[in-house]
């Protein structure tokens, strides 16, 4: 029985991968249009997002190791290192994404920054909307 549950969970998460990729590509293409850039094709958008993601993962991996080693040497707890990495990863994500956007799409770096901010604003709006719905559901369940 446990094996079937694990298999069903794996299948569920595998089915979420294309849906997630479609949603992220759709958000990226929408942010390009909102910033006044031509709408990239799905293949171009997914390629840019993949290259940006791969570059960010490598950079944050190095940053994570350096920050954790520095925090261990300073005697700080690991949770503080995680907060430091998160805060340092945001401007790193901005620089990498805007640089790749400007290089691959042939636009100025400032437009890449604008697309990054628009993209993150759309993603944050979706997360806030989901949190609001979950909060309302929890409150309704507590009242009943």
Average pLDDT over residues 132-139: 96
User: pLDDT (tens digit, 9 = 90+) per residue, 58-90?
Assistant: 999 999 999 999 999 999 898 999 999 999 999
End-to-end, the C-alpha distance of the chain in Å comes to: 33
Average pLDDT, the chain: 92
pLDDT higher than 90, residue 144: no
Q: Is the pLDDT of residue 20 over 90?
A: no
Residues 85-97 pLDDT 10s: 999 999 999 999 9
User: In the predicted model, what is the mean pLDDT of residues 111-116?
Assistant: 94
Q: Is the pLDDT score of 1 beyond 90?
A: no
Choose among 137, 124, 109, 89: nearest CA to 35.
109
Instruction: Name the one residue in this structure whose structure tokens are 């799409």.
Output: 105
DSSP string spanning 44-109? HHHHHHHHHHHHHHHHHHHHHHHHHHHHHHHT--HHHHHHHHHHHHHHHHHHHHHHHHHHHHT--H
Q: Comparing 2 with 136, which gets the higher pLDDT? A: 136
Instruction: List the chain domain ranges.
Output: 2-143
3-class secondary structure, 34 = helix
């Amino acid at each position: 029985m446990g094996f079937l549950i694990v298999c069903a969970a794996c299948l569920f998460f595998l089915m979420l991968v294309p849906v997630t990729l479609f949603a992220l590509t759709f958000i990226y293409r929408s942010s390009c249009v909102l910033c006044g850039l031509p709408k990239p094709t799905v293949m171009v958008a997914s390629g840019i997002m993949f290259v940006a993601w791969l570059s960010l993962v490598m950079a944050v991996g190095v940053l994570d190791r350096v920050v954790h080693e520095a925090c261990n040497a300073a005697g700080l707890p690991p949770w503080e290192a995680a907060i430091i990495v998160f805060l340092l990863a945001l401007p790193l994500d901005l620089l990498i994404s805007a640089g790749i956007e400007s290089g691959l799409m042939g636009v100025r770096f400032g437009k890449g920054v604008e697309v990054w901010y628009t993209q993150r604003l759309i993603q944050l709006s979706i997360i806030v909307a989901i949190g609001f719905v979950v909060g309302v559901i929890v409150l309704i369940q507590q009242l009943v």
